Amino acid sequence: MSTRAAGYLLLEDGTLFPGRSVAAEGAAFGEVVFTTGMTGYQETVTDPSYAGQLVCFTAPMVGNYGVADCRLESETPHARAVLMRRLGGEDWALWLAERGIVALDEIDTRGLTLRLREEGAMRGMAVADERTLVPAEALEQVRAQPRMEGSALVANVSTPAPYVASDEGQVRVAVVDYGLKRSILRRLAAAGAAVTVYPHVCDPDDLASHDGVLLSNGPGDPAPLVEETRVVRETLGRVPMLGICLGHQLMGLATDHETTKLPFGHRGANHPVLDKRSGRVLVTSQNHGFAVVPTEGTEETHVSLYDGTVEGFSFPELRAQSVQFHPEAGPGPHDAWPILERWVKELASAG
């Protein structure tokens, strides 16, 4: 590669982190967040839930085991920039550059993570070449950009039309795509489900014609998703339903709960969650910046052992359940894998 330019990350509070450009030229704006996963960098960048975000990896080296198409969670990257302490391999840098992703290494990722933990996730800009945009001008641009609160992003990442993902299985499952990860489809197919994927806003009658409905993960603030919430509300009780991540939050809104922005979110593959029914602790994969506000009700099934936030619901009368974490674990520990398999088996038994 040619000599790499000096770049920087600038936060909306004026904090500047110098770095070295290792991928695409230009500048990228987004919400700056951090993930604590030690592996899964390619899955992270292609996860649609990272749309609109600049991702800081807390692992000291990123890119050290290369890239492969089998690790893609979607066809293209959705994270707007990658921030690393040390680049671990040229294949990773080239892969990012070919896809137009700004990436900086030699960033003080420890200092950045501590800043975000203390002050919360912030808007920021990653600049690949400091000679093209001075920090004062970058700061003005950053502060003019919208915040993540109030941002409805699912329309940018959802499928525009229904499609069949797998056509053989014991049960027929409809998946509503709010920013769907491929590993969810793989786990459903492996469990024995024939899967049809629907856009983020669709006809509740179409969903209710299946044996079960899965509400997928996705990016942005759930509160502005009025039509998506309406579809969930009008489908609840008609067919068994499982929500994951944003799907969990939409199920919360559809059952008269509220959502809130977390200070810096949960992102990584090492988040402990208590299953209140069994007393078992699951180590889970997570990626979210919003959460459902706790209530005094009995429908909460899982809670985070980090901050006590709601991590799961069960509504037996509606045949609905949800989890805030990612049971497909792409990437991450397999503690929560049985959730998807068990749900598909329940659908088959009910049929």
What CATH number does residue 138 fall under? 3.50.30.20
Higher pLDDT: 125 or 351? It is 125
Instruction: Please check the confidence at residue 1 and state whether its pLDDT lies above 60.
Output: no
pLDDT in tens, 91-130: 999 999 999 999 999 999 999 999 999 999 999 999 999 9
For this structure, is 328 an active site residue? yes
* N- to C-terminal Cα separation, the chain: 58
Q: Where does residue 350 rank: exposed (0-12), middle (13-18), buried (19+ CB within 10 A)?
A: exposed
In this structure, the strands spanning 320-323 and 122-127 are unpaired
Among 43, 210, 245, 311, the active-site one is 245
Neighbours of 4 (CB within 10 A): 18
Could you tell me if 105 and 216 lie in one domain? no
Compute the distance between CA of residue 167 and CA of residue 16 in angstroms, rounded to an integer. Answer: 51
Provide the CATH number for the domain around residue 164. 3.40.50.880
Q: What is the pLDDT of residue 163?
A: 98
Compute the distance between CA of residue 159 and CA of residue 272 in angstroms, rounded to an integer. Answer: 32
Residue 270 tokens read as 């090492």
Q: What is the pLDDT of residue 41?
A: 97
Could you tell me if 139 and 197 lie in one domain? no
Could you tell me if 118 and 173 lie in one domain? no
1 lies in some domain: no
Could you tell me if 171 and 316 lie in one domain? yes
pLDDT in tens, 167-206: 999 999 999 999 999 999 999 999 999 999 999 999 999 9
What does pLDDT average to over the chain?
Answer: 96
Could you tell me if 255 and 129 lie in one domain? no
Give the residue from 92, 112, 144 where a domain finishes: 144
Compute the distance between CA of residue 302 and CA of residue 295 in angstroms, rounded to an integer. Answer: 13
Residue 30 tokens read as 């987004």
Q: What is the pLDDT of residue 298?
A: 81
pLDDT in tens, 283-301: 999 999 999 999 887 899 9
Could you tell me if 118 and 198 lie in one domain? no
For this structure, is 119 an active site residue? no
Residue 84 banded pLDDT, cuts 50, 70, 90 = very high
Give the residue from 105, 121, 144 where a domain finishes: 144
Bridge partner residues of 315 (DSSP): 320
Instruction: Please check the confidence at residue 2 and state whether its pLDDT lies above 70.
Output: no
Bridge partner residues of 260 (DSSP): 291
Q: What is the pLDDT of residue 322?
A: 98
For this structure, is 70 an active site residue? no
Residues 6+ apart with CB under 8 A from 334: none
Among 73, 106, 228, 328, the active-site one is 328
| Amino acid (1-letter code) at residue 120 | G
Could you tell me if 120 and 170 lie in one domain? no
Domain count, the chain: 2
Give the residue from 95, 121, 144 where a domain finishes: 144
149 lies in some domain: no
Could you tell me if 98 and 172 lie in one domain? no
The side-by-side arrangement of strands in the sheet containing 241-244 is: 163-166, 193-198, 171-176, 212-215, 241-244, 320-323, 310-315, 300-304, 259-275, 281-292
Give the structural domain span for 161: 154-350
Per-residue DSSP letters for 268-283? Answer: EEEEEEEETTT-PEEE
pLDDT in tens, 29-79: 999 999 999 999 999 999 999 999 999 999 999 999 999 999 999 999 999
